[in-house]
Structure 1
Amino acid sequence: MKTCLIIDLMHESIIPLLQQIGWQVEYRPEIKREEILKSIHQYQGLIVRSKTNIDKKIIDRAAKLEWIGRAGAGLDQLDVEALEARNIRIVNAPEGNRDALAEHAIAILLGLFNKVHLADCQIRQGNWDREGNRGVELIGKTVGIIGYGFMGQAFARRLQGFGVEVLAYDKYKTHYGDAFAQEASMEEIYQKADILSLHVPLTEETRFMLDHAYLQKFRKNIYLLNTARGKNISFKTLVEALESGKLKGAALDVLENEKIKQFTPEQQHYFDLLIQHDNVIFTPHVGGWTYESYEKINQTLVAKIRSLNANTL
């Protein structure tokens, strides 16, 4: 029987699900990188979340590895080129947490527009300020979605009923407009968007994609919603755009550096400035992280692994 190593915490359903399709499972969420390097040669399958980068050093030692499963959507912690060179199949599970992320994106956007984060803190401190917490309505706004994969599509679907125009841009697709979003060029989004929502993976192309020059292309001052990857925009750019007024506000589920005790001096400087802005709302990368998605991710991964077994392995 082939064996799969799981190196991150997963919903408990993952073990019986894999066993049902013929896999022996070693569930070792406590394992350290050094131990992975020593033992990876034994396994035909590997499931990861975010414990460590699956780089060439690990891949070169994975003599028997047939597939790697990423419990989530992003592949930025995997050396995809090295895996493909070894013909190691990659499966991920964006279908498992797209609903969670879409709902969270709506929640933090509405929270930002209605100053929920500020009003809650003020009332707890005995301050009842209605005028200071006057909100902004979503109806009538234009939302520009960058990246129209599983996450972007799920978010667009949730925007139905809010009376917004939804424009979507995806560099790597054609004819993707649907009942929930109109296919658009970036020029159209630059001209019309009131809200910019990111749904792109982290690649060399998208790393710090939102810089000063990018934001200045927008005709209007805009709101930013980022539930994608923190390194799509730096703390420095966020602060400068907020201070100039180009960003009217930001709802951020991700940060340039999410190890907040390990900021560089420059990151710490700009983060300290960023958190002084009341028109920014933060959540700790939980957009796709619900009780339901925790289990749905397993179901999605195992269905794809079963398909690999049936078709290619």
Structure 2
Amino acid sequence: MVGTTRKYVFDFDSTLTSVEALDVLAEMLLDGKSNKDAVLSEIQEITNLGIDGDISFTESLERRIRLLNAHQNDLDGLVKELRQKISRSIEENKAFFKEYAEDIYVISCGFKEFIDPIVAEYDIPSERVYANTFKFDTTGNIIGFDETNVLSSHNGKIECLKNLNLEGEVQVIGDGYSDYVMREAGIADKFFAYTENVHREKAANNADHVTPNLNEFLFVNDLPRKISYPKNRIKILLLENVHPNAFDNLSEEGFSVELVKHALPEEELIERIKGVHVLGIRSKTQVTEKVLSAADRLLVVGAFCIGTTQIALDAAKKGGVVVFNAPYSNTRSVVELAIGQIIMLKRSIFARSTEIHQGKWFKTALNSQEVRGKNLGIIGYGNIGKQLSVLAEAMGMRVYYYDIEDRLALGNATKCNTLEDLLSVSDVVTLHIDDNKANKNFIGEREIDQMRDGAILINLSRGFVVDIRALVKALKSKKLNGAAVDVYPEEPRSNGDFITELQGLENVILTPHIGGSTEEAQRDIADFVPNKIMDYINSGNTVDAVNFPNIRLPKQNNAHRFLHIHKNVPGIMADINEVLAKYEMNIASQFLSTDSEVGYVITDLDKDYNKDVIKALKSVEHTIKFRVLY
């Protein structure tokens, strides 16, 4: 509705734009000069002193203009640069500025020469822009500012707004001292501290509402906006010390992110998950049915690892909670560790290294062999198994593999029809099978007996797939000549003491579940999983979801998007479309994907909707979750 009883007064620098314009001008003018850093630092310090009210604005302006030594011609370049620096959420809500143009004003201590051409693109005419103006000499040099303008004086915004005598409720949106004093002086009714670009404590502490972006401001005022629910209101809880890039990626997108360094036990997680929209975990956190039942707002679980058995996937699906993992990001890291362990074990490197550490010199070829020409048996020919196959063959190994699924061989690898066939032919056996509970003790005493005498076993998959007692027995009896174990039936939640029967055995490499723990892998996971989470939150995409029907959506343009998750029973689509027809909603496009239990439908509508439509869609029988994106 146009012509509200509210008036909206925006600051310019660090609000409508993400930068302070005079700082940008200084950057441009000082580019390539030896004193650039010193002058920039001084200008920025003066800027901040003025913004926080620690010096008068008049003094701040005078000192900066003297340091700038700018010319009128420089302003064209500044305007061009500022067009690239519009605040992100301002730019995506151009429709608000257009619809409410008559109620929007800009009051800035900046300068009309560069503000007018920027805000004109947001339907704010020059007559509703109140700002300073430069003084030029006859050759165009900027020599000062119009000192008769009220905005050039300390607390000038108060006087400017008072002179406007605006009717209705006046709301000020800005980032600094000169903005919140308008409310303190009683000239404005509310002050919103705009923190998308810079968070100033004084402004935030004196605000009626802290707004990290324009969507939040529009949400609070129930105004039209790009997204229906501001991202800063979406709470994300990241556990188990996931890579800081994940925190950065999600925070930069505008979400509220909390990072916890360790896993949480069930009861504590039940308490912490209330109000959380996105949960990020690794392998130790158990997302049980009880946890999911307590999750009153949960939309997504992101597993920053390959495995997902720590998550009650069916319960998550039935609750409309989408689960993503990182099936490929640490593949190379695990493969490289396997290659390294194969070489180390075949050369008895750890035994020789321990002797040297103990001051012993024992140069020998005993139990030291090349890997070239040896048989490698890969159990589990998925992403990791296949890449290991290629690298091992490049080193001259003969590769055999076994998988319960029909997998195409890469290179010269030979498929084995049975596990026994693989075990009987392999000098080295390496495990890369999934976390299906049916794989418990997949390698036990019987399977070890089927292996070649003197063979080596490597487990980089799951701790429970190897019977540890049977492995210890085989190593002590010399049935096996060595082993490398990275995963264990029970692992601690955090770093500390650890005991296993494998400790102290000769030619055994023990590592603390670090197969995928490289900087590269963790960085890749911290990019991959947050991108999946953001894609679902922002657009509804479920591509690569572990437990949900997959839908890849085209880019949404000038439409409202409804996401409806429901039980997969006949007639739901008809019920949804009947509601839309009743409220005369025109469907621009619609996408549906189902599995045996749930259906997921996305509807794009090219007509504005009211809250009655939302209520009606939420009331459709068998609805699990409903969400409005735009």
Distance 1:30 1:282 in 2: 22
User: Out of 216, 240, 243, which is 1:11 matched to?
Assistant: 243
Contact 1:4–1:26, Cα closer than 8 Å, also in 2: yes
Contact 2:283–2:307, Cα closer than 8 Å, also in 1: no
Distance 2:433 2:470 in 1: 18
Distance 1:111 1:190 in 2: 21
Asked if residue 278 in structure 1 is aligned to residue 499 in structure 2, the reply is no
Distance 2:260 2:508 in 1: 38
Contact 2:380–2:432, Cα closer than 8 Å, also in 1: yes
TM-superposed deviation, 1:190: 3.2
**Secondary structure in 2 aligned to 1:96?**
coil
Residue identity opposite 1:277 in structure 2 = L
User: Out of 515, 518, 521, which is 1:287 matched to?
Assistant: 515
Task: Give 2:524's aligned residue.
Answer: 296
TM-superposed deviation, 1:66: 1.8
Contact 2:339–2:392, Cα closer than 8 Å, also in 1: yes
Contact 2:448–2:471, Cα closer than 8 Å, also in 1: no
**Secondary structure in 2 aligned to 1:78?**
coil
TM-superposed deviation, 1:106: 0.9
Q: Greater shift after overlay, 187-196 or 203-212?
A: 187-196
Distance 1:251 1:175 in 2: 26
* 1:289–1:85 distance in 2 versus 1, CA, 3 Å: same
TM-superposed deviation, 1:256: 2.9
Distance 1:120 1:218 in 2: 28
Q: Greater shift after overlay, 197-206 or 78-87?
A: 78-87
Distance 1:307 1:184 in 2: 40
Q: Greater shift after overlay, 82-91 or 294-303?
A: 82-91
The CA deviation string for residues 245-291 of structure 1, in whole angstroms up to 9 with x for no partner, is: 4322211122233348476xxxx6xx1xx334312221221111012
Q: Greater shift after overlay, 247-256 or 179-188?
A: 179-188
Distance 1:129 1:91 in 2: 51
Asked if residue 26 in structure 1 is aligned to residue 258 in structure 2, the reply is yes
Task: Give 1:192's aligned residue.
Answer: 425
Residue identity opposite 2:406 in structure 1 = T
Task: Give 2:620's aligned residue.
Answer: none
User: Out of 292, 308, 312, which is 2:536 matched to?
Assistant: 308
**Root mean square deviation, CA, Å:** 2.5
Q: Which runs of 5+ in 2 are unaligned?
A: 1-230, 543-562, 564-630
* 1:239–1:302 distance in 2 versus 1, CA, 3 Å: same
Contact 1:72–1:93, Cα closer than 8 Å, also in 2: yes
TM-superposed deviation, 1:20: 4.9
Residue identity opposite 1:29 in structure 2 = K
Residue identity opposite 1:103 in structure 2 = E
* TM-score, L = length of structure 1: 0.87
Task: Give 2:369's aligned residue.
Answer: 136
Task: Give 2:279's aligned residue.
Answer: 46
The CA deviation string for residues 84-110 of structure 1, in whole angstroms up to 9 with x for no partner, is: 332322211132211111111111121
Residue identity opposite 1:14 in structure 2 = A
Task: Give 2:307's aligned residue.
Answer: 74
* 1:243–1:27 distance in 2 versus 1, CA, 3 Å: closer
Distance 1:192 1:198 in 2: 15
The CA deviation string for residues 140-185 of structure 1, in whole angstroms up to 9 with x for no partner, is: 11111111222222322321321111122221x3243223744332
Task: Give 1:224's aligned residue.
Answer: 457
Bigger CA radius of gyration: 2
* 1:243–1:39 distance in 2 versus 1, CA, 3 Å: closer
Contact 2:235–2:256, Cα closer than 8 Å, also in 1: yes
Task: Give 1:122's aligned residue.
Answer: 355
* TM-score, L = length of structure 2: 0.45
Distance 1:208 1:139 in 2: 30
Residue identity opposite 1:281 in structure 2 = I
Asked if residue 164 in structure 1 is aligned to residue 368 in structure 2, the reply is no
Contact 2:334–2:515, Cα closer than 8 Å, also in 1: yes
Q: Which runs of 5+ in 1 are unaligned?
A: none
Q: Greater shift after overlay, 53-62 or 176-185?
A: 176-185
User: Out of 356, 376, 382, which is 1:149 matched to?
Assistant: 382
Task: Give 2:148's aligned residue.
Answer: none
Distance 1:108 1:299 in 2: 28
Distance 1:30 1:214 in 2: 36
**Secondary structure in 2 aligned to 1:64?**
coil
Contact 1:4–1:25, Cα closer than 8 Å, also in 2: yes
Higher RCO by CA contacts (8 Å cutoff, separation 6 or greater): 1
Residue identity opposite 1:289 in structure 2 = S
Residue identity opposite 1:165 in structure 2 = R
* 1:296–1:133 distance in 2 versus 1, CA, 3 Å: farther
The CA deviation string for residues 45-91 of structure 1, in whole angstroms up to 9 with x for no partner, is: 11011453111111111122222111111223222232233232221
Residue identity opposite 2:250 in structure 1 = L
Matched pairs, number: 304
Provide the identity percentage. 29
**Secondary structure in 2 aligned to 1:131?**
coil
TM-superposed deviation, 1:5: 1.4
Q: Greater shift after overlay, 148-157 or 177-186?
A: 177-186
Residue identity opposite 1:80 in structure 2 = L
TM-superposed deviation, 1:223: 1.2
Task: Give 1:108's aligned residue.
Answer: 341
User: Out of 43, 65, 87, which is 2:320 matched to?
Assistant: 87
Q: 1:230-245 alignment to 2 at 5 Å?
A: 230-245=463-478
Distance 1:147 1:30 in 2: 30
Contact 1:76–1:201, Cα closer than 8 Å, also in 2: no
* 1:45–1:110 distance in 2 versus 1, CA, 3 Å: same
Contact 1:7–1:51, Cα closer than 8 Å, also in 2: no
